[in-house]
Each structure stands twice: as structure tokens, then as C-alpha cells.
Chains A and B, each alone.
Chain A
């Protein structure tokens, strides 16, 4: 017997940042045990476990976690889906509960990335004595730099610049202002890796990584984990009233991949799959972007945040620059975006990110977000995108 309505009753994220004294399993264990405690349930009640980790995708981190916190014999799904890995782990738990396979699912996303350097860069092939074509392009050596770039800061810089070419107004200064906003927001988030406010000048004069993204405009590699407990409607109604009051309804849970559009195999198209996921999510939830009290979106780079205002339909098509200039996405604006500080300051431990952004929404809907609480928040959206590509959108509602 499946459940049409799925609830989040437990949620936790570790502090994001450097955890030199903890390994991947330690971090996953911390978030998992705290999420269980938050839900007031025992691991013995959990019927499915979705575990996301990108850097050790073949290592069975889910089972390694069980070895440390409890081996109950339940099915484990170890998932890897680029930066949407955490959202994918949660989708697995939600789908299992929705299908009626179990009443309680747990999802965990964990990553250790501190000091990992730039991602997306493939090492150059070993220089051989003679030119040898290899790969799908028959390339004689690494194409990086020779045929543009595939490194993340450069790819996402081009994503933002492409938007500027199409609609105008997307200047270096505008992108830097987006970063200024998120770093300002982060000062209220004790779990953020960086809680430092930057002036616009500081951001623009910092080290240029890939124009127009300077260092503070890039998400930071760091360590962290996040975990969530989801339950069926029936299970939720059997829980103590204290748990029910804090429960948050998952009104939409969507995962998409990138459909073919012209040019998408030249510059990854992060727009269409996000727009598709958002459309499906709004339809599932029966609400529109105008109903959202806050949004956590995937600002892996400042240039990415701009295009997702548009993709998530927070503004009219082509209107992202005006939307930002109106002040709407600041925490005291009409449509607060990334009040957690976003990936640029909260940090981006890849597989944890897709659950951590949902955790942020949960905290606000419960009224437990502390100094950064968006007062009276009842509806929120969390978005994550992994290049390749995969996009997760979740819409949450406070019901009790």
C-alpha cells in the first residue's frame, strides 16, 4: 500500500567546512544519528537507506555507514549523480515509501572535499612519443585549454555569459553582487563553511578564477553530511504530536536529466532540465512560484544563480537581471534566495548539498532557523543541479 503524501520528520546537517578528524563514514554517521534523534525514531524502524557519495562512488558508503551505526539488513541504494547525488538519494527513499515498500526511509549525503582543488579537470594524457588519437573526438591529447574549457568555473561562467548574450545586462559587477548577497546571508548561518561578509570591491578584486567568476564567487570544496528521515502519511499520523507538529510535507519531488536541445553537447544546457523540473514540481504541488516564501538554489557559481532565477520561474523569462536588481532575492526582499549563504559561502560538499538545501527549507518551515529565520515561512523550494546533467527540485510545505 503506497502513500501519496510523504513527510519529513527528521533532518540534520553537520557543520560544513574542514573536518580533518573525521572520515566520510564519521560524517555520515553524525548526520544520520542526529536525523534519527530529530525524528524520535530508532534505526530499526527504517526500511530503506539511500546514500549519496560522489568521490567514493564504488565503495559502498551506505553499507560502511551501517557497519558503524547499525546493520539491520534493509536494502541500501548507493547513488552517484554528480551534484544532484544527495537529492537522488532522497528521491530513492521517497520513491520506496511512496511505492509502499516501507513506511520509513532514510537518505544521507556525504562528501569529504576539503583541499580537493578544481573539479572537472581531467589530467592530461601521458605524453607519448607519437601522436595517438583517442576518445570520441580522436583527440591527440587533453582538449582542456586547446578546445575551450571543461573545468567547472569556466563552464558555469559561460552559462551566465550566455544568458547575458541572450538577454543583456549580465555584467561582471552584477554577478559579483549576487555573491555579495550570499556571503552577507552566510553571516547568520553557524553551519556555513565561510561566514564572512565581503564588500563588492573585495569580491571583484579577488583572484580571478574564470572570468567573470572570482574566487568568492565560486562554491567552496569542503566536508560535510546531511541526512533526512521520510515517512508515509500513515506512519506520520502514528507519531507523537510533537513530531507531527514539526513534520514538513514534501509537496513535490522531481528529478530530471538534460533533454536534447541544439548546442547542448557543446556547452552543457543547465536551463532546460531545471525549467522542466520546476514545471513538474509546481504542477505536483499545485502551487506556483508566487507562493514560495524562500528558495535554496544551486549557486555553485555566482553566474549560475542568475540563470536559475529564470529557470525556476521566479521572474519572467529573460528577467533575471531585473529580478536581482529589484532586491527580491535578498533575505529581506520579496523572494529570499539562498538565505543559508548558498554554496558560495555555506560550502559545497557535493553529495551532501542536495539534502542540505532541503534541510535549510525544513528549518525555516519549522520556525527553527534561528537568527536567519524567514518569518512565517510556509512554502519553500530547494533546487540542485549536477553537470552531466541531473536536476532535483523539491517543494516543501508547512501544514501543521
Chain B
């Protein structure tokens, strides 16, 4: 599946997403697998639906803007970061909030955020990895 999502920007320089469900179109977006039977949405490789046990899914694009419904400022590593759950039009997304001070004064429940992408650097073959986060609107 990840192969299908690899997007060649030039003949020699490839860009690949950090995870399969990040789609690197001109406007990047997150993509879920939606159960055709019950509508449950998932981001991982599936065997069947955890809600209704059926095994047919369709690919759906997730809204790029959303609302922070929960967060924590994780301060155990060298660099504090904001872990959050964002409600994107009814679909919950797990993410790191980027471009914000990791402090309770700057991150709030209910704040509006939008999808963003950034480079993780290139590997030895020149392939660039692109990760996603959400940032305040």
C-alpha cells in the first residue's frame, strides 16, 4: 500500500510519507479506510472491521481542519511536545501539534488546528520523508 502512495517528484528525488495514511498530493491529506458496512474509520492496515466484523473498506479523505478535543504536553524527553486528539469533521486523529509553544497558555481544548507537513530529511538514496502534524489556525 505504501508503494502506491509514493509520489515521485522528480526522476531522481522521491518523497515518501512517514505513514501510509498521509497522502502527498499537491495538497497533502490524511486518508482513512472506511467500513462500507458501518462507516467505522481506521488508519491502519485492516483484517476486518472492529465494529461490525465486515471486511470491505473504501478510502476516504479526512478533513484538513479540526478541533483539539484532548491534549497533553509531554515533557519526558529532551524536547517537550504536544500530543493531541483532533476531531476532524467527526473523525478522531492522533497527532503532534506543531508550530506552537508547548505550554498550557498556548495550547487549549477546543482550539482550531489544520493539517501541515514537514520534511524529516533524506535517506542515503536521496529519498525525502514527509511527516504530518497539525498547527493552530
Contact = CB atoms under 8 A, between A and B. Distances in A.
Counting chain A CB atoms within 10 Å of each CB, which of B18, B72, B85, B125 scores highest? B72
Contacts of A77: none
Contacts of A155: 72
A114 interface: no
Interface in A234-277: 260, 262-263, 265-267
B51 A267 contact: no
A21 to B, nearest CB: 30
B126 to A, nearest CB: 10
B66 to A, nearest CB: 12
Interface residues of B, number: 45
B42 A146 contact: no
A52 B45 CA distance: 32
Nearest to A208: B75
A158 B71 contact: yes
Contact of B69 (A129, A131, A165): A165
A200 to B, nearest CB: 17
Contacts of B120: 140
Contacts of A128: 123
Contacts of A285: none
Contacts of A266: 85, 92-94
Contact of A267 (B1, B74, B85, B129): B85
Contacts of B76: 118, 151, 153, 209-210
A260 B124 CA distance: 42
Contacts of B19: 137-140, 143, 147
A207 B120 CA distance: 30
Contacts of A137: 19-21, 43-45
Interface in B63-89: 68-77, 81, 83-85
B109 A161 contact: yes
- Which one of A148, A210, A213 has the highest number of Cβ atoms from chain B below 10 Å of its Cβ? A148
B70 A162 contact: yes
A148 B92 CA distance: 13
Nearest to A129: B124
Interface in A114-145: 118, 128-131, 133, 136-141, 143, 145
A149 interface: yes
Contact of A209 (B21, B71, B75, B123): B75
Contacts of B68: 165
Interface string B107-137: 0011000000000100111010101100000
Nearest to B5: A138
Contact of A129 (B72, B94, B123): B123
B123 A130 contact: yes
A154 B83 contact: yes
B92 A263 contact: yes
Nearest to B18: A140
A140 B21 CA distance: 12
A267 B84 CA distance: 9
B7 interface: no
B74 A210 contact: yes
A157 interface: yes
A266 B44 CA distance: 11
B16 interface: yes
A138 B83 CA distance: 20
A2 interface: no
A211 B75 CA distance: 8
A25 B120 CA distance: 46
B51 A146 contact: no
Contacts of A129: 123-125
A164 interface: yes
A330 interface: no
A198 interface: no
Contact of B18 (A139, A151, A263): A139
A323 interface: no
B27 to A, nearest CB: 20
Contacts of B60: none
11 contacts: A118-B76, A133-B20, A137-B44, A137-B45, A154-B83, A158-B72, A159-B70, A165-B68, A210-B74, A210-B76, A266-B94
Interface of A: 118, 128-131, 133, 136-141, 143, 145-149, 151, 153-155, 157-159, 161-162, 164-165, 172, 207-213, 260, 262-263, 265-267
Interface of B: 1-2, 16, 18-21, 40, 42-45, 50-51, 68-77, 81, 83-85, 90, 92-96, 104, 109-110, 120, 123-125, 127, 129, 131-132
Given A128-B123, A210-B73, A211-B75, 4 more contacts: A129-B124, A133-B20, A146-B96, A165-B109
